[in-house]
Amino acid sequence: MKILELTEQNFEQYVMHSEKPVIVDFYAPWCAPCKSMAPVLEELSSEHPDCPIGKVNVDEYPNLAREFQVMSVPTFFLIKNGKPEKRVTGAVKKSELEKWCIQAES
């Protein structure tokens, strides 16, 4: 599954109303750790095609970042049934996000 660029216009549809848990990456284009995580998310997306992954640019959509109390980037959420179930801030190991993907696929 392709990584979705999430916006204030499509966030509700793709994340809050998703039948599956969704991994959401709050990032900024100028953020070095965010850039280092981009290939990890691409790998997860190809290795786990049934795992929905989306990205929110906090510079373009600060209201979404505020709503989820994102204070630093990258911040990753696993959102299930419209509610944040897990949250981690900073660059994380692929294996950590892979666990979330496996949960989202089941």
pLDDT of residue 2: 87
Tally of CB atoms within 10 A around 77: 23
Give the active site residues.
Answer: 31, 34
pLDDT of residue 103: 83
**What is the side-by-side strand order in the sheet with 75-80?**
4-6, 53-57, 22-27, 75-80, 83-89
Give the domain ranges of the chain.
4-105
pLDDT of residue 104: 80
- Architecture of the domain whose range is 4-105: 3-Layer(aba) Sandwich (3.40)
pLDDT in tens, the chain (106 residues): 689 999 999 999 999 999 999 999 999 999 999 999 999 999 999 999 999 999 999 999 999 999 999 999 999 999 999 999 999 999 999 999 999 998 887 7
pLDDT of residue 13: 95
pLDDT of residue 93: 94
pLDDT of residue 22: 95
